[in-house]
Structures are given as structure tokens and as C-alpha cells.
Amino acid sequence: MIEVEATPLEGLLRIRPKVFADARGEFLETFNARTFAERTGVITTFVQDNQSRSMAGVLRGLHLQAPPFAQAKLVRVVAGAVLDVCVDLRPGSATFGQHYSLRLNATGQEMLYIPEGMAHGFLALEDNTVFVYKCTAYYEPKAERCVRWNDPDLGIDWGVRDPLVSEKDQAGSSFVSRLWMQ
């Protein structure tokens, strides 16, 4: 069983799975297609799972893939903690240009369902943070887009001044240029 909560961004969902805990430890079902569809109204097929491990202060994002290779994602943290950020880049969306952030950690087991057309990134808050996510489309390098994590037009408060960011992410396009749509 899962609890589903809408966020201020259209289609972005917070998901809390039922965790069964006792003296031995805990168990949870991380994904069940039938339950997911019943509780979210979203029928989806995930085709790829990804995992990253990051040290505290590493910022990854803001990433998305352009159509026809757009991906929806189901993200969670299995060790450590992150500040997770999503930006709505769907033209015509009522929440276009807005962002939402949420702290995700291994203890809480909370997940985010990120629909196609949203840029996504996270800041690792602890050493050896392990972040996993399911994707609805395969990674396609030519469709990859990146919006600058520190774009002043988005005004995202990451809570850090000098995160460790890859060269690729540092060179991301501005929100205003809308290069991510091409």
C-alpha cells in the first residue's frame, strides 16, 4: 500500500510506501504497477533503473530528456539524504517555470513521481548518499538537456553556495533561453 500526495506542481506526486518494521528490521514494496496505477491514476511502464552514489555537497542536475525520448521518473534515496528539486518545463502547464523541493532520505522511504517534461536534480546532504530512480524511457544522449542549477530566473535555494557540480551541469542552459526544448 502507498499514500499519494499531490504537490504544488501539476502531476508531481509524493509517495509514501507502507513500511513494515519489527525487531528484525524492515520491509517495503518499492514498486507495484497495479497499486501505483490505482493510487496515482498513472499507468506507466518503467524500462530502466539508475543509481548514483554521491558525497555530501555534490549537486546533480537539473536534467531532462526532450521528446520523443522524454522520461517520467520514480525517485528515492536508499542511503543518506538529498534535497530533491523538480522544475516544471512543460509549455502550457499551469505550473510552468515553477519549482518544488523536498528532502528525501533513506529513513523516510518517501519517493517522488516526476512526470515527463520536468527537469530534475538533487543535492547530496550526506556522504555516500545512494539515489535510485526508475525511468519510462531509455537514456538517449542526443535528447539530454540540462538547465543550470543556479539559474537566477528559477531562484532555487539549494542551501549551499559552492556545491560540487560536473562541467556538463555547470554549462547547462538558462531557463530563459529555453534551449532544453530544442
Question: Nearest 5°: phi and psi at 181?
Answer: -85, -20
Antiparallel, parallel or unpaired: β 164-165 and 58-65: parallel
**Which residues have a catalytic role annotated?**
63, 133
Antiparallel, parallel or unpaired: β 118-124 and 58-65: antiparallel
CB 85 within 8 A of CB 61: yes
Q: Which candidate, 37, 31, 39, places its Cα nearest to that of 5?
A: 39
